[in-house]
Amino acid sequence: MNNNDLADKIASQTGSTKADARAVVDLVFASIADAAASGEEISLNGFGKFKVKDSPAREGRNPSTGETIQIAASKKLGFAPAKALKDKLNG
């Protein structure tokens, strides 16, 4: 499922236009991205939590040459599903 599929499903279930549903989908994802970029945890009841995690700098290897390289520290967005979602997946 992609953004358009999600917008189509929302439009058909709510009776709104596809354009309005797409605007809502885009706004939801932009809001999640903005909150994550500012370091906030995003908790969606019944779905799960998005949390920003710090990945420290480390040494790695170039697979083609075997040369040691430095991998810079970065931030990653992790997701932990809620129990309700886990139950739905495994039920």
User: Mean pLDDT of residues grouped by 10 in the chain (91 residues)?
Assistant: 96 96 96 96 96 95 94 96 95 83
Burial class (CB in 10 A: 0-12, 13-18, 19+), 25: buried
Distance CA(71)–CA(90), nearest Å, equals: 37
Distance CA(41)–CA(51), nearest Å, equals: 5
| Confidence (pLDDT) at 7 | 96
The pTM of this model reads 0.78
| Confidence (pLDDT) at 91 | 83
| Confidence (pLDDT) at 82 | 97
CA end-to-end span of the chain: 21
